[in-house]
Amino acid sequence: MSQKILLIGGTGMLGKPVARKLKEAGYQVRIFSRSVSEKEEQEGFEIFRGDFFNPEDLDRALKECTAIHTNLAKVDEGAAMRVIVAAAKRAGIETISCISGASVCEENRWFPITEQKYQAEQSVINSGIPYMIFRPSWFFESLELMVRGGKAMMIGKQPHPYRWVAVEDYARMVAAAYLKSTSENPTRNAGPGTLNQIYYILGPEYHRMRDLMVRYIKAVHPEIKKVSDVPLWMMKLIGTLSGKREMKMVAALYGYFEKAREQGDPAFTNKMLGAPGTTFEEWVKAKKR
């Protein structure tokens, strides 16, 4: 398969599995990142170092590519996607895809991060380039982010259940979407195709965050005897007094998820791409191997 995909944000928790799955599917993968480790260079990916806010870097990175997939994090996703879409148009890119979130919708635009994701989606949808948008729920892999300094913490009450998903399932589904999109015959009209779709990636089971965190600690960190509950007001106060911007953002994010629920129906996604079938028990057993 001669198609080359530029993967923006291909070195993190979500990017690495997507890069591997696309490569396994037969695509050439070029990773675009500000920093790439020696291990990633040894895995055989084509590497391009640069800043995606720099149009010249993007133009060079997009040469010979036919598609872009983005895993943006810790940036203004709306602003970043506008730059990326403009570069994609200049390069004649045939397909653009991105990761968003299962709570992204019109009614949740009051939250700044969701608004950025919503604006990024709109840039992709209105680009005129065939697109695929992936809206996953919470990832099992994010549980480890709640463990710091030998302690496990839950921030806020987090009352809503979510259909948690494994990153490997998400990565497989991205690769499946690309495989289907390249095999579709545009002259046929046999119902909805893979392109110009929003995909809700929701796992096979509902879990409340605290319940899952307790199970995770017991299985992976048995040395930690309990999950500490940190009220939102306390996290906000610590962030304000310490002046740590990241702590304020974390408090705001968990405050958002106390209000925002998971959205979407995964039926179409599961039919087109194969349902994400990894349960928590299966995921944690694989992690412990």
The DSSP secondary structure of 123-154, one letter per residue, reads HHHTTSS-EEEEEE--BGGGGGGGEETTEEEE
Mention every residue, 6+ apart, whose C-beta is less than 8 A from residue 190.
Answer: none
Which pLDDT score, from 0 to 100, does residue 39 have?
60
pLDDT at 268: 96
Tokens representing 144 are 């480890």
3-state secondary structure of 101: coil
- Identify the pLDDT of residue 240: 84
Spans of the chain, pLDDT less than 50: 1, 185-191
Contact 162, 262 (CB under 8 A): yes
CA distance 19 to 37: 14
DSSP symbol at 107? G
| pLDDT for 233 | 87
Pick the closest to residue 97 from 169, 10, 208 (CA basis): 10
pTM over 0.85: yes
d(CA 88, CA 141): 31
Which residues partner with 148 through β-bridges? 151
Give the tens place of pLDDT for each residue, 60-76. 999 999 999 999 888 89
Instruction: Choose among 63, 8, 287: nearest CA to 167.
Output: 287
Class of the CATH domain delimited by 4-137+167-201+262-277: alpha beta
As a whole number of angstroms, the distance between CA 279 and CA 285 comes to: 10
According to DSSP, the residues that pair with 199 across neighbouring strands are 134
Residue written as token pair 């408090």? 251
pLDDT for res 183:
67
